[in-house]
Structure 1
Amino acid sequence: MSEAADSYREATIVFATRHGKERQAAAPFHAQLAAHVIAPDEIDTDQFGTFTGDIERTRTPLRAALDKALLGTALTGRPYALASEATYTTTWGVLARHHELLLFHDRHRQMTLTENTVVTVRGHGTTTVAGAEDAQAAAVRFGFPATHAVALIDDGTGIVARKGLADTDALPAAVTELLARGAPVHIGPDYRR
């Protein structure tokens, strides 16, 4: 192992995420470096923008990931951080381009490393639904519940989103709640899960 890599041996690395991504990184970092990957309890990465648009994304994916990593180091006092940023582009309503950026930041060395991957996944845009049954049928088409759902409206004051809908109770409840606000409800895949 190189001297640089050896400096990360048995380190604690903070993954600046609120969506459980630290669990995906834990095994590889432990296997290669005996390092421990943790996530801060109270981190708000959504402040840098959300995929549903309820909080506008104003940064590039690289800048958003770096800002997340810097927030993780600030909250925990740890010098090493991971962060990620994903974007999806739907083409022709059938396929989606998934671009995932993973970033590692070393505060001591002021060094940032990135890894990118782009894959094509089964994609669907959003579908406007009239009720809970409609929403269930739309969600099944994109693989629900294995692929979680998102329900959202634009009520004139901004986008309101319910994300991570994972079961047949949560989806109709979210749709019913949003329909009561008097705006059309749109259902789509939540690719984070």
Structure 2
Amino acid sequence: MFSGRQLVIATQHDKEKVIAPILEKELGVQCLIPSGFNTDLLGTFTGEIERNLDPLSTAREKCLRAMEVTGCDLGVASEGSFGPHPEMVFAPADGELLIFIDKKQNLEIVARKLSTVTNFSGQQVRNEQELMDFARKAQFPSHALILRPGKNAATDIVKGIVNEADLRAAYDTLFARYGSVFVETDMRAMYNPMRMQVIEQATQLLAAKMVSLCPKCRTPGFSVT
């Protein structure tokens, strides 16, 4: 049903590095990435652009847009959400959702993975010692950081910081201007290996559902709930 067909992965944040190998192996598809595709138009983690849709609707819209610009009738998109775990409220959680759409077969399959393996965090810092303490706990520099004047500031945001010199320089600039700095983990997939691992796990769940057929109608996506 899927073997030999092209499948577009709706991403600009390198998610294809963990999604494509699994889907190509399990489904026999040929994955491609849309050139110049901007998923930030549907919302950013830092809030400059608000996400107006729920995670599933956002992922679906990403997928359909990527399918439209590439002409593919197979597509996959993901969307992440971060916050307190629904059952362990004092533990942060990464919720990853993947959606697969097959226009030819009029098929939509969704997989979800909720994990406490995340460094998702943020803190207002008043000096460099607090900054570096946060960085160490966040597993910097293997995991990037973001600096901005305050938690909800939508301007003067410095993203994708991956070395100490840039971190200190950005901190000094913002602190001199605002007198305080908010530091947070950069949750974009290409800057957060822990998140990338959860996306990989969600992709494995998706692939398993896609090769699971309904015993009666033989439609992919069968699962026992």
Interval containing the TM-score (normalised by the shorter chain): 0.7 to 0.9
Partner of 1:72: 66
* 1:129 equivalent among 125, 131, 135: 125
The 8 Å contact of residues 94 and 122 in structure 1, kept in 2 or not, is answered as no
Partner of 1:150: 146
* Structure 1 residues 179 and 71: CA distance shift in structure 2, 3 A: farther
* Identity %, equivalent residues: 27
2:182 is aligned with 1:189: no
Give TM-score scaled by structure 1 length. 0.83
* Structure 1 residues 171 and 37: CA distance shift in structure 2, 3 A: farther
Partner of 1:36: 30
Q: Which amino acid is 1:120 matched to? A: T
Once the two structures are superposed, residues 18-67 of structure 1 have per-residue CA deviations (whole angstroms, 9 ceiling, x without a partner) of 10001111211121222222211201111111122221111100000001
Partner of 2:170: 174
Instruction: Give the distance between the partners of 1:157 and 1:95, measured in 2 at CA.
Output: 25
Q: Identify, as 1 or 2, the structure richer in helix.
A: 2
The secondary structure found in structure 2 opposite 1:121 is coil
The alpha-carbon deviation at position 177 of structure 1 amounts to 4.4
Give TM-score scaled by structure 2 length. 0.72
More deviation, 21-30/154-163: 154-163
Q: Which amino acid is 1:101 matched to? A: L
2:102 is aligned with 1:106: yes
* 1:84 equivalent among 62, 78, 84: 78
Once the two structures are superposed, residues 60-119 of structure 1 have per-residue CA deviations (whole angstroms, 9 ceiling, x without a partner) of 000000010011111211111110001111469963111100111112233221000111
2:45 is aligned with 1:59: no
Asked which structure has the greater RCO (Cα within 8 Å, sep 6+), the reply is 2
Instruction: Give the distance between the partners of 1:65 and 1:78, measured in 2 at CA.
Output: 16
2:15 is aligned with 1:21: yes
Q: Which amino acid is 2:134 matched to? A: A
Instruction: Give the distance between the partners of 1:24 and 1:173, measured in 2 at CA.
Output: 33
Partner of 2:206: none
Q: Identify, as 1 or 2, the structure richer in strand.
A: 1
Once the two structures are superposed, residues 129-161 of structure 1 have per-residue CA deviations (whole angstroms, 9 ceiling, x without a partner) of 245564333211221112221223359983553
The 8 Å contact of residues 148 and 158 in structure 2, kept in 1 or not, is answered as yes
The alpha-carbon deviation at position 16 of structure 1 amounts to 0.6
The 8 Å contact of residues 149 and 188 in structure 1, kept in 2 or not, is answered as yes
Partner of 2:211: none
Q: Which amino acid is 1:12 matched to? A: Q
The secondary structure found in structure 1 opposite 2:164 is coil
Q: Which amino acid is 1:16 matched to? A: A
- Say what the alpha-carbon RMSD is for the aligned residues: 2.6
User: What residue ranges of structure 1 are gaps of 5+ in the alignment?
Assistant: 1-5
Instruction: Give the distance between the partners of 1:96 and 1:152, measured in 2 at CA.
Output: 21
The secondary structure found in structure 2 opposite 1:53 is coil
